[in-house]
């Protein structure tokens, strides 16, 4: 073949644009077959794809699944709070991570509001203090907006998205699609865009066990059990109109709350108390319907929660481990060429070219190729196959003779 790699890449992008245009204009069955139907249906039509030749944006969500309570009238374990990340690469020989002269915006084309899908905003001020505008999350971000530049990447912290799309607000879709667009500040031209999953679920099935004897309202049932065991006044607090925030007493690093000294962390308390009741992680973590674990290791190699979270409920009950920090590491099982940076979590680590591990692999529990087609869209669009982004010419104009993501 006489094509240079660069040309093949350009042709594949141009081909994709044409396919997408045809898809939208004609809805042709024949053309639709060119892109796996499942993924074609998930794509929001790019406004600016032709410019992707010069720039690439890689986006991701930092957790494999975020869970939240949905009904905040009685108690709160966790608020709606997804974190979106992006890095922008100027293609070249060598490619360059860029941050200057651009902005990155995010939105959820089919999920533009959360008020009414959860009652969070009716209680947020009472639970967390301060005042919070409707549809704005605890860190000031809404369901669309501009991401903040932090060192070598862009972040939207605490996006209060729910699992209920605008188009079907009563049917959960746990893998919500965010769209990210990079714009040149000087020319206002779009430079690149991507679609990534913000995983979100309120499927914590406390209700399965906490429904008898009375009260059958599972949240009140939980508070009553707690009062009976610990002599706390939580039922009265909730009845007086002040929902209970567990992290006020039990330390929760996820919320940055230190809790009451001497009490177990929320994680240690919850896993410890329930260790004799169940060892099924999906009893509380989302869940039998959500199935938040969808990564390549679970789908192709049979790994389960406790393959990585060794020791399960008992390990998690330890009052000496630090929850949200003492977590499994890729390096526990993979070699040193494929491990996290020293002292950093997977989500905080960077590898080849200063790119975050998650930029190429997606988040924990969603390591590509993922069971969910939506998780694979970014890799499909940029390199034509699911799985870690490893095609050199996604970022390099020509294939380097040596090196590579883990060389
Ligand atoms: C598999 C069943 C099961 C599930 C699921 C479950 N619980 Fe429990 N929980 C229990 C049992 C049984 C008790 C103990 C009741 C007793 O001692 O009378 C309990 C006790 C509690 C207590 C009282 C702890 C104490 O000793 O002060 C709290 C608080 C609690 N659960 C919260 C929750 C929350 C929150 C969830 C969901 C995230 C949940 N539970 C899910 C079975 C379950
Ligand atoms: C006002 C403070 C306070 C609040 C609020 C609170 N707890 Fe507790 N909790 C305690 C105390 C005190 C204990 C007893 C701790 C001990 O045994 O060392 C306890 C114990 C527990 C235990 C049992 C731990 C064990 O190992 O037996 C669980 C589970 C628990 N809390 C869950 C929750 C949940 C879930 C919430 C929110 C719905 C919550 N707590 C809110 C004070 C609180
Ligand atoms: C009875 C309910 C329940 C069950 C069962 C449960 N968890 Fe959890 N887990 C929770 C809650 C509630 C939190 C959130 C605590 C917080 O916000 O800090 C949590 C947090 C976590 C965390 C993050 C915090 C940390 O300690 O690092 C991990 C990891 C975790 N669970 C793993 C597991 C695994 C693995 C299993 C199955 C072996 C499991 N959990 C079973 C309720 C449960
Ligand atoms: C292939 C290994 C692996 C499997 C399987 C796995 N986890 Fe994890 N889990 C991890 C790693 C690694 C982290 C830490 C992520 C980081 O460092 O950023 C983590 C973190 C977590 C956290 C903290 C929040 C987060 O996303 O960082 C929770 C909660 C959790 N796991 C629960 C589970 C549950 C429940 C299952 C089964 C349904 C499960 N995990 C299966 C490797 C795994
Ligand atoms: C409990 C051990 C364990 C942990 C922890 C773990 N892995 Fe794996 N991983 C495996 C096993 C086993 C396989 C199967 C193939 C093999 O043996 O390499 C695998 C396969 C993979 C593959 C697919 C390779 C292929 O051949 O397709 C990728 C990608 C991967 N892991 C990434 C990660 C990342 C990223 C992390 C950390 C977030 C991680 N793994 C944590 C055990 C683990
Ligand atoms: C530029 C993209 C890129 C970045 C950044 C990246 N990886 Fe990878 N990773 C890949 C590709 C491509 C593969 C598959 C080919 C290979 O194994 O080298 C892979 C494979 C892996 C595997 C599976 C190895 C096996 O046994 O098959 C693990 C584990 C892994 N990476 C962990 C990490 C960790 C941890 C980081 C961050 C410190 C990271 N990766 C950063 C692209 C990347
Ligand atoms: C997702 C984007 C991405 C992918 C895919 C990628 N690289 Fe890179 N690579 C970079 C970035 C960014 C740099 C940093 C350039 C710099 O500033 O030094 C880099 C640097 C390099 C360098 C050192 C600088 C240079 O160009 O001499 C080599 C060699 C390299 N990559 C080889 C490869 C090879 C071989 C592959 C495919 C197997 C590959 N890369 C895949 C983004 C990528």
Q: What is the pLDDT along the chain (407 residues), one digit of tens a residue?
A: 222 333 333 444 444 443 444 334 333 322 223 344 444 444 544 433 444 479 999 999 999 899 999 999 999 999 999 999 999 999 999 999 999 999 999 999 999 999 999 999 999 999 999 999 999 999 999 999 999 999 999 999 999 999 999 999 999 999 999 999 999 999 999 999 999 999 999 999 999 999 988 899 999 999 999 999 999 999 999 999 999 999 999 999 999 999 999 999 999 999 999 999 999 999 999 999 999 999 999 999 999 999 999 999 999 999 999 999 999 999 999 999 999 999 999 999 999 999 999 999 999 999 999 999 999 999 999 999 999 999 999 999 999 999 999 99
Alpha carbon distance 232, 142 (integer Å)? 36
Burial 123-133 (b: 16+ CB within 10 A, else e): bbeebbeeebe
Residue 313, in any domain of the structure: no
Task: Say yes or no: CB of residue 305 within 6 Å of ligand 4.
Answer: yes
Task: Say yes or no: CB of residue 96 within 6 Å of ligand 4.
Answer: no
Cross-strand bridge partners of residue 134 = none
Domain holding 200, by residue range, is 5-204+346-394
Residue 246, in any domain of the structure: no
End-to-end C-alpha distance for the chain, whole angstroms: 28
CB 197 within 8 A of CB 178: yes
Task: Say yes or no: CB of residue 269 within 6 Å of ligand 2.
Answer: yes
pLDDT at 351: 98
Task: Say yes or no: CB of residue 278 within 6 Å of ligand 1.
Answer: yes
pLDDT at 23: 39
Residues with CB under 6 A from ligand 5: 296-297, 301, 307-308, 328, 330, 332-334, 346, 361, 364, 367, 388
Q: Exposed, middle or buried by CB within 10 Å (0-12, 13-18, 19+), for 390? A: middle
pLDDT at 20: 44
Say how many Å lie between the CA of residue 294 and the centre of ligand 4. 11
Q: How many separate domains does the chain show?
A: 1
Angular region, 145: left φ>0, alpha ψ -120 to 50, beta rest? left
Query: What does the block give as tokens for 266?
Result: 């929320």
CB 385 within 8 A of CB 313: no
Residue 102, in any domain of the structure: yes
Determine how β-strand 145-146 pairs with β-strand 148-150: unpaired
Residue 88, in any domain of the structure: yes
Residue 57, in any domain of the structure: yes
Say how many Å lie between the CA of residue 51 and the centre of ligand 4. 36
Residue 179, in any domain of the structure: yes
Probe residue for ligand 3, chosen from 79, 271, 273, 319 as the CB with the greatest number of ligand atoms within 8 Å: 271
- Three-state DSSP state, 164: strand
pLDDT at 146: 98
Which is nearest to 59 in space by CA: 330, 398, 356, 370? Answer: 356
Residue 154, in any domain of the structure: yes
Give this prediction's pTM. 0.93
Task: Say yes or no: CB of residue 64 within 6 Å of ligand 4.
Answer: yes
Residue 197, in any domain of the structure: yes
CATH of the domain at 188: 2.60.40.10
């Amino acid at each position: 073949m006489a094509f240079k790699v660069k040309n093949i890449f350009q042709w594949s992008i141009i081909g994709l644009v044409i396919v997408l245009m045809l898809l939208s204009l004609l809805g042709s069955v024949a053309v639709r077959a060119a892109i796996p139907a499942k993924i074609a249906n998930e794509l929001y039509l790019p406004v600016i794809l032709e410019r992707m030749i010069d720039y690439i944006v890689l986006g991701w969500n930092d957790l494999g699944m975020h869970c939240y309570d949905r009904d905040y009238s009685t108690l709160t374990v966790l608020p709606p709070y997804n974190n979106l990340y992006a890095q922008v690469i100027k293609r070249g020989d060598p490619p360059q991570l860029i941050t200057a002269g651009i902005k990155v915006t995010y939105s959820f084309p089919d999920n533009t509001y959360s008020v009414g899908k959860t009652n969070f905003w009716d209680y947020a001020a009472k639970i967390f203090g301060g005042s919070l505008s409707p549809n704005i999350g605890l860190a000031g971000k809404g369901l669309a907006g501009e991401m903040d530049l932090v060192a070598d990447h862009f972040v939207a912290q605490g996006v209060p998205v729910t699992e209920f799309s605008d188009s079907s607000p009563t049917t959960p879709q746990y893998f919500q699609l965010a769209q990210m667009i990079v714009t040149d500040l000087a020319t206002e031209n779009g430079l690149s865009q991507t679609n990534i999953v913000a995983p979100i679920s309120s499927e914590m099935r406390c209700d399965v066990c906490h429904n008898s004897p009375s009260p059958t309202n599972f949240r009140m049932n939980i508070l009553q059990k707690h009062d009976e065991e610990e002599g706390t006044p939580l039922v009265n607090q909730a009845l007086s109109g002040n929902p209970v925030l567990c992290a006020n007493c039990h330390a929760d690093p996820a919320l940055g709350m230190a809790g009451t000294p001497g009490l177990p962390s929320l994680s240690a308390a919850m896993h410890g108390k329930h260790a004799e009741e169940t060892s099924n992680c999906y009893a509380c973590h989302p869940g039998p319907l959500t199935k938040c674990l969808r990564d390549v290791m679970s789908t192709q190699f049979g790994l389960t929660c406790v393959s990585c979270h060794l020791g399960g409920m008992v390990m998690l009950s330890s009052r000496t481990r630090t929850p949200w920090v003492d977590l499994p590491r890729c390096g526990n099982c993979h070699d040193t060429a494929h491990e996290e940076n020293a002292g950093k979590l997977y989500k905080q680590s960077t590898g080849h070219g200063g790119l975050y591990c998650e930029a190429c692999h997606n988040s924990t529990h969603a390591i590509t190729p993922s069971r969910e087609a939506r998780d694979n869209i970014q890799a499909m669009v940029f390199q034509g196959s699911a799985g870690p982004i490893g095609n050199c010419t996604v970022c390099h104009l020509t294939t380097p003779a040596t090196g590579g993501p883990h060389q």
